[in-house]
């Protein structure tokens, strides 16, 4: 790593205790007895170096941690001799300036589909009511569909207690499993209309029932084209599924997203709403009660629903893929 401007291995700084130290890695050692709150109390080079450490995994510094906390990051900075004394609050303030939060993480599946950009681009075009460079007509519609599988009905072993003044709701931790549903749903992305059904299991038969529920209704029955955005699940994977559905519904056009790209499918947004509003906490006396709640919420949601404000465009996709590509090259 390049050294700081003006630094050398022979440069020394005296600490308040009268000790001196030289940098063994071409970084200037800043010995500061106190940690004043003023923004100019530390050299900018030190601030940059601390942020750089925060943006590395701790194992890069032989620290047996999976992620930094503020206290551990401050301890690392002090132990390496970059500075003799610095408070954790100062380290936090520096990281907060650039919204660096090394103690947080999220799971991610990096794009591996060789046609990721092409497949994702078609979906993004449909959200903008375009297909192959042309605007969709008023008799063309876009449906986002998928399955939410293994939704368990859990009966708690003690009755749940509603919230009281000064006390939150209480849900018994132990429960009895009463079975599970697969919930299949389809969303008209531009009209915010929902269709769904609960089935004992997912699969081709269940998905074709959902498709029939939608395609036999007006305006889809007589539409010029109805584009169905789906993932690569077994019930609707590949050209065979597209041909199967086209035989049953000649105006249905199946559009597959890239592998591992469910975030492009707007029905997943609705599933996340369902999870928060209906399925958490999970406390249902029977499987029938669970299915009734799901389908009743579906009807309720449509009374307040508006089309999602989808702002991720082809330009954003290109930028994202370039960024991920650079990250993978650096990792390699």
pLDDT digits (tens, 9 = 90+) for 190-221: 999 999 999 999 999 999 999 999 999 999 99
Residue 3 lies in a domain: no
Shared-domain flag, residues 188 and 132: yes
Looking at the structure, tell me whether residues 290 and 175 fall in a common domain. yes
Same-domain check for residues 77 and 211: no
pLDDT greater than 70 at residue 290 = yes
Task: Print the domain residue range for 28.
Answer: 12-97
Q: How many independent structural domains does the chain possess?
A: 2
> What pLDDT is recorded for position 235?
94
Predicted pLDDT at 41? 77
Are 186 and 169 in contact by the 8 Å Cβ rule? The answer is: no
The per-residue pLDDT for range 238-252, each reduced to its tens digit, is: 999 999 999 999 999
Tell me, yes or no, whether 152 and 86 share the same domain: no
In a domain, 66, yes or no: yes
Residues 121, 77, single domain; the answer is no
Q: Tell me the CB-side half-sphere exposure of residue 57, using CA atoms within 13 A.
A: 8
Domain-located, residue 166: no
Mean pLDDT of 257-268: 93
pLDDT of residue 326: 64
In the predicted structure, residue 35 carries a pLDDT above the cut 80: no
The CATH number that applies at residue 293 is 3.30.420.10
In the prediction, which pLDDT does 110 show? Answer: 79
Do residues 208 and 245 touch, judged by C-beta distance below 8 A? yes
pLDDT at 260: 87
pLDDT at residue 33, as a whole number: 36
Instruction: Tell me, yes or no, whether 129 lies in a domain.
Output: yes
Q: What is the pLDDT of residue 18?
A: 38
Q: Do residue 156 and residue 208 come from a single domain?
A: yes
Residue 64 counted as domain residue: yes
Which of residues 121 and 3 earns the better pLDDT score? 121
Same domain, 91 and 120: no
- Note the pLDDT tens digit of each residue in 51-110: 999 999 999 999 999 999 999 999 999 998 888 899 999 999 999 999 999 999 988 777
pLDDT of residue 27: 39
Inter-CA distances, 302 with 2, 117, 196, 270, Å? 58, 32, 12, 11
**Cα 121 to chain center, whole Å?**
19
Q: Is residue 220 part of a domain?
A: yes
Residues 137 and 259 both lie in one domain = yes
Same-domain check for residues 297 and 260: yes
Report the C-alpha gap between 66 and 54 in whole angstroms. 12
Whether 105 is in a domain gets the answer no
- For residue 1, being part of any structural domain is answered with no
Last residue of a domain, one of 47, 62, 97: 97
Q: Is pLDDT of 223 > 50?
A: yes
Average pLDDT over residues 159-164: 91
- Judgement on whether residues 55 and 137 belong to the same structural domain of the protein: no
Tell me: the pLDDT tens digits for 306-329? 999 999 999 999 998 888 876 654
Locate tokens 């010029």: which residue?
Answer: 224
Examine the fold and report which residue of 97, 129, 147 is the final residue of a domain before the chain moves on: 97
Of all residues in the chain, what percent are helix, strand and coil, respectively (each to 5)? 35, 20, 45
The rounded mean pLDDT for the chain is 87
Whether 254 and 155 share a structural domain: yes
pLDDT band, very low/low/confident/very high, at 112 (cuts 50, 70, 90): confident
């Amino acid at each position: 790593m390049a050294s700081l401007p003006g630094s050398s291995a022979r440069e020394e700084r005296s600490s308040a205790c009268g000790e001196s130290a030289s940098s063994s890695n071409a970084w200037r050692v800043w010995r500061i007895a106190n940690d004043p709150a003023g923004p100019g109390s530390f050299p900018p080079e030190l601030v940059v170096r601390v942020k750089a450490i925060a943006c590395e995994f701790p194992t890069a510094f032989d620290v047996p941690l999976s992620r930094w906390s503020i206290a551990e990051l401050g301890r690392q900075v002090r132990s390496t001799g970059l500075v003799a004394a610095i408070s954790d609050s100062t380290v936090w303030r520096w990281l907060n300036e650039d919204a660096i939060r090394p103690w947080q993480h999220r799971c991610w599946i990096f794009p591996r589909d060789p046609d990721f950009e092409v497949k994702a681009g078609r979906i993004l075009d449909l959200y903008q009511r375009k297909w192959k460079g042309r605007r969709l007509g008023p008799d063309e519609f876009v449906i986002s569909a998928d399955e939410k599988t293994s939704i368990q009905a859990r009966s708690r072993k003690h009755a749940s207690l509603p919230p009281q003044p000064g006390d939150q709701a209480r849900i018994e931790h132990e429960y009895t499993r009463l079975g599970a549903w697969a919930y299949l749903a389809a969303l008209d992305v531009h009209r915010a209309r929902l269709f769904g059904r609960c089935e004992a299991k997912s699969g081709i038969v269940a998905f074709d029932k959902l498709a029939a529920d939608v395609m036999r209704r007006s305006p889809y029955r007589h539409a010029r084209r109805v584009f169905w955005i789906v993932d690569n699940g077994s019930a609707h994977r590949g050209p065979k599924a597209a041909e199967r559905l086209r035989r049953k519904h000649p105006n249905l056009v199946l559009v597959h997203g890239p592998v591992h790209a469910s975030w492009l499918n707007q029905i997943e947004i609705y599933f996340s709403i369902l999870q928060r509003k209906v399925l958490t906490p999970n406390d249902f006396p029977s499987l029938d009660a669970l299915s009734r709640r799901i389908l009743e919420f579906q009807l309720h949601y449509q009374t307040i629903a508006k089309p999602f404000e989808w702002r991720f465009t082809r330009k954003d996709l290109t930028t994202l893929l370039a960024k991920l590509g650079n990250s993978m090259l650096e990792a390699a």
